[in-house]
Amino acid sequence: MDLSRLPASFKVVRTDRELEMSMVDEALRQWGAQLVILPDGTPADVLTRELADADVLLMCYAKITRSMLQGATRLKAIVKYGVGIDAIDIDAARERGIAVVNVPAYAEETVAEGAFSLLMGLFKRFKPLQHAMQTQGWAWPESRWLAQDLAGKTLGLVGCGRIGRSMARMAGAFRMQVLAYDPHVPQSHWPAGVQRCDSLAQMLPQCDAVSLHCVLNAQTRSLIGERELALMKNSAFFVNVSRGELVDEAALVAALQGGLIAGAALDVFGQEPLALQGHPMSALFGMDNVLLWPHLTFYTREAMQRLEDETLQRCWEALAGEPLTVSSMDPRLRAQTHGVRFVDPP
């Protein structure tokens, strides 16, 4: 990279310090950036003040509002180092000519592996067995430890994009039957070996496990609620590694407490971080049939290398005055007309 193409001075703000991006931080400093790194939960007025003279914003979870962007007169780009863009006011950014990009493909296989691992943990009763081993040293083959085979079971996917298709392939290797509901995938791109369902009402009653793999937007918020959970078998498991807000979480807690479904594995929550007490979902910590993960199914060495590499590429484009590369097919990003160029995903 030709450092002479960069401005003489420039400022980069990175939110969500808890997600370490050491390669990105070091490279930006070597490029000469004034780098401001803010922790999770930074007050809105502090973030607004830091954005006022920033050239680039790197964010992951922080909510970026219209009011924050109004005073960001130098801001050229918002780079989401991750996939979901629901925390960004895209309309406000577009109105101000601020390009918005994400990193859509860095962890597709990684997240599918994590989801399938959690699914296996439910079927094989990892949590209660591990607890017994830790506290008692052994567990005899009593009925309370009886696990289940995956082979012959039916997995339902809500969303059949790249992560969903990877999940389907893994399930097929374990000889599971796979159903999926995704009205946005045309029949011409439907994966072989996956049975298409026209509605959740058609799919959910057939499933021994249900796994969510869709984006969060106005149409999918609370997609899984009391009605949908009631359609599931009381022997079925539920997995969510996508977004907590896809689910009516109060209804999910009630369904688990009432035995309406057999268990759940969750990596994402509407309110993060989770907490042992005082959180709307704190009651789940005490349930042997619930696996709770701290939004880390994406977090592997390989995925983080890909994430940091591509984040730096987008930063370079913004600072060097080049159009930012948008490889996501999300229509909210594809609607941009300023400061971006579109490429089809690999």
pLDDT score for 150 = 98
Between CA 212 and CA 164 the distance in angstroms is 8
Q: For residue 37, give every residue at least 6 positions away whose Cβ sits within 8 Å of its Cβ, in sequence order, or none.
A: 13, 14, 17, 25
Long-range contacts of 187-195 (CB under 8 A, 24+ apart): 190/160, 191/160, 191/165, 193/168, 194/157, 194/160, 194/165, 194/168
Give catalytic residues, as residue numbers.
Answer: 243, 272, 295
pLDDT score for 167 = 98
pLDDT score for 62 = 96
**pLDDT tens, position by position, for the chain (346 residues)?**
788 899 999 999 999 999 999 999 999 999 999 999 999 999 999 999 999 999 999 999 999 999 999 999 999 999 999 999 999 999 999 999 999 999 999 999 999 999 999 999 999 999 999 999 999 999 999 999 999 999 999 999 999 999 999 999 999 999 999 999 999 999 999 999 999 999 999 999 999 999 999 999 999 999 999 999 999 999 999 999 999 999 999 999 999 999 999 999 999 999 999 999 999 999 999 999 999 999 999 999 999 999 999 999 999 999 999 999 999 999 999 999 999 999 987 7
Report the predicted TM-score, pTM, of the whole model to 2 decimal places: 0.93
pLDDT score for 4 = 85
